[in-house]
Amino acid sequence: MEFTIDTEQQSLVQAVRGLVGKTYDSSEARRAVTKAEPGFAAWDQLAEMGVLSLPFEATAAEVSLAAEELGRVIAPDPFVESIVLAGGLINSVGTDEQKSELVDAIAEGQTLPVLAWLEPNRGWSAQAVSVTYSDGKLNGVKSTVVQADRADLLVVSAAVDGGTGLFLVTDGYATETERTHDGSRAATVTFSDTPAVALGDGGDALAALKHALNLARIAYAHEALGAMAVALDITVGYLKTRKQFGVTLNKFQALTFRAADMYVELELARSAITWATIVAADEGSTPEDVAAAASHAALQVARAGRHIALDAIQLHGGIGMTAEYSVGHYASRILAIGQMIGDETFHLDRLAARIDDHTVLDPIG
């Protein structure tokens, strides 16, 4: 069991931190990027550095470390959405031909895939209902497809006989795109007799889809964790320097105690989320193990994440409300990640369904 990272991992962290720290060296730089299309700017360099190949060539640990660095600068690049999730699914479900055709292209940044799995008003259910597949064609509507416009390959979950299949689509669909509150874009995608090719054998792939979503949840949680840590740092820095009533804010005990509470939550979240990655990285873990770990990590984002995000704004006062200052964007990103990976009720329900699996829940094996 290991909570420390090795030298090679440390180098990866430094490299990613250096790269995204340059591209997004200020809140203003990030804002400028998210205003323009497609809303992210570090992609080619991430590809060059090999970050986009991590899900295919390294373990969940490296993926999480990279995601956490992206979270620290709230990089808008769709690493988790496109690489971990869509890329990961292609790599796990695709035929050998599909993999050899696509995986390298994705890792090199030439192909940007996204997964279209959510459907209107169906929460975070992975089972496809609205979109159906038959005779080589897709019909129906997917919602909240992150970066659908920029993507050149959609992986679409669709109802098939006997379950939920996965299909590749490159053309023939309509998107209605909106800005997300955290500076990204997401689309409602409508398929009307859209030509589609099966990913893998075209049969039920619900289990693989769920597993990929859980791995993505864990990576997302690290992204949120990075953002939470920096949101607290910024807040602590503000309390030390901002003066009110003739003294710096850190003279107000009620405020410093709230910062202390944020730190407590952050450290507990760091532990649980890191543990989830250790589970994901372990070859002996079953998909059920990973699902539970993902839910524990997601609960931290839903609770500690929201707590830290909102108190970071409150402790700043007015300046925290402005788009010109960074902390609101951190809050928005933490919130958005929570919305992508499932809310508190969703994950509590998932865990409650397995409440009888153990007497004591012990993180050590």
Partner 1 sequence: MRLQLSPEDQKFREEMREFFTTQIPERIRSKVIARQELSKEEMVESQQILNAAGLAVPGWPLEWGGKDWSQLQRHIWHEEMQLAGVPQPLAFNASMVGPVIANFASQELKERFLAKTANLDIWWAQGFSEPDAGSDLASLRTTAVREGDEYVVNGQKTWTTLGQYGDWIFMLVRTDPAAPKKQQGISFLLIDMTTPGVTVRPIELIDGGFEVNEVFFDNVRVPVGNLVGEENAGWTYAKFLLGNERVGIAQVGASQRHLATAKEIAKERGVLDRFASRIVSLESELLALETTALRVAAHSDGGKPHPASSVLKIKGSVLIQAVSELLMDIDGPAATTSWNSRVFLNNRKVSIFGGSNEVQRTIIAGTILGL
Q: What residues numbered 42-71 form the site for partner 1, per CB under 8 A? A: none
Residue 133 binding partner per list partner 1, a copy of itself, none, with a CB distance cut-off of 5 to 8 Å that depends on partner kind: none
C-beta separation of 82 from 151 below 8 A: yes
Residue 282 binding partner per list a copy of itself, partner 1, none, with a CB distance cut-off of 5 to 8 Å that depends on partner kind: partner 1
Any contact of residue 26 with partner 1 (CB under 8 A)? Answer: no
Contacts of 16 (CB under 8 A, 6+ apart): 46, 49, 51, 65, 66, 69, 70
User: What tokens does 57 get?
Assistant: 């060539």
Residue 314 binding partner per list partner 1, a copy of itself, none, with a CB distance cut-off of 5 to 8 Å that depends on partner kind: partner 1
Is 6 in a helix, a strand, or coil?
Answer: coil
Residue 36 binding partner per list partner 1, a copy of itself, none, with a CB distance cut-off of 5 to 8 Å that depends on partner kind: none
Which of 75, 212, 259, 294 is the binder for partner 1 (CB under 8 A)?
A: 259
Any contact of residue 230 with partner 1 (CB under 8 A)? Answer: no
Which of 124, 252, 263, 346 is the binder for a copy of itself (CB under 8 A)?
A: 252
Any contact of residue 174 with partner 1 (CB under 8 A)? Answer: no
Of 110, 124, 74, 157, residue with least CA distance to 294: 124
For residues 206 and 142, what is the distance between their CA atoms, to the nearest angstrom?
16
Any contact of residue 352 with partner 1 (CB under 8 A)? Answer: yes
Residue 95 binding partner per list partner 1, a copy of itself, none, with a CB distance cut-off of 5 to 8 Å that depends on partner kind: none
Any contact of residue 253 with a copy of itself (CB under 8 A)? Answer: yes
For residues 355 and 102, what is the distance between their CA atoms, to the nearest angstrom?
40
In this structure, which amino acid lies at residue 225? L
Q: In whole angstroms, how close is the CB of 316 to a copy of itself at the nearest point?
A: 18
Which of 20, 234, 255, 294 is the binder for partner 1 (CB under 8 A)?
A: 255
Number of CB atoms found within 10 A of residue 127's CB: 14
Any contact of residue 36 with partner 1 (CB under 8 A)? Answer: no
C-beta separation of 81 from 53 below 8 A: no
Which residue, 9 or 256, has its beta carbon nearer to a copy of itself?
256
In this structure, which amino acid lies at residue 317? G
Residue 263 binding partner per list partner 1, a copy of itself, none, with a CB distance cut-off of 5 to 8 Å that depends on partner kind: partner 1
Which residue, 157 or 295, has its beta carbon nearer to partner 1?
295
**Stretch binding partner 1 (CB under 8 A), from 70-78, 148-156, 158-166, 177-185:** 177-185
For residues 156 and 131, what is the distance between their CA atoms, to the nearest angstrom?
9
CA distances from 148 to 67, 88, 121, 144, 183 (A): 21, 17, 19, 9, 14
Binding site for a copy of itself (CB under 8 A): 252-254, 256-257
